[in-house]
Amino acid sequence: MNATTKRLLLLLPTLIAFALGIFLYQGIGQDPNKMESSLIGQPLPNFNGQTLLSPSRTVTQVDMLGQAALINVWATWCPTCRAEHEFLVGIAKQDNVRIFGVNYHDQRTAAQQWLQELGNPYVFSVFDPKGVLGIDLGVVGAPETYLIDAKGVVIDKLIGELNERTWPPLRTKYLSLLEETN
């Protein structure tokens, strides 16, 4: 090896560390729950699915239209979904927020029991055992919550727990959408 090659090999770890540092620095201050979705500004994807509580009832995206709403992707196997569930029940009752559920990669009996025991904040939940609707929505994991307007256009998306810290910005947008339709 010549002297130039040796210097480059000695400099390589420093260059790699510098590049990694720049990459990590870009993430500082970013909200880990905020991830842009290709659906923002787009209508809900077409779907046709059974509801969790009434397997004989079929619903589509059209059943979610008419006024602003939240679509909450949840599952019984998801500990964060359990953590946010009481908050969802609260805003559905106290604030009269319309929430639709997507029960994602779950077992029907376990999910039905969950809602019976913990309360049901949903107008209805679409049963999505294979995650087909989840894929169409661009779900990366549960829980995720989408804000839609009265026409079914996705306005915003939250990845992670909906709670007293993450709800206020969505609530402001939700209330604004409600005012637009009244």
State how far Cα 166 lies from the chain centre.
12
Q: What is the pLDDT of residue 181?
A: 75
Q: What is the pLDDT of residue 2?
A: 77
Q: What is the pLDDT of residue 3?
A: 75
The pTM (predicted TM-score) of the whole model is: 0.81
Q: What is the pLDDT of residue 120?
A: 98
pLDDT tens by residue, the chain, 182 residues? 777 777 766 766 675 666 666 666 665 554 444 445 678 999 999 999 999 999 999 999 999 999 999 999 999 999 999 999 999 999 999 999 999 999 999 999 999 999 999 999 999 999 999 999 999 999 999 999 999 999 999 999 999 999 999 999 999 999 999 888 76
Contact 127, 105 (CB under 8 A): no
Q: What is the pLDDT of residue 32?
A: 47
Q: What is the pLDDT of residue 16?
A: 67
Q: What is the pLDDT of residue 148?
A: 97
> What CATH number belongs to 48-181?
3.40.30.10
CA pair distance 124, 82, nearest whole angstrom = 18
Contact 102, 71 (CB under 8 A): yes
| DSSP assignment letter at 22 | H
CA pair distance 76, 82, nearest whole angstrom = 7
Q: In Å, how far are 7, 17, 19, 128, 139 from 10, measured between CA atoms?
A: 5, 12, 16, 53, 43
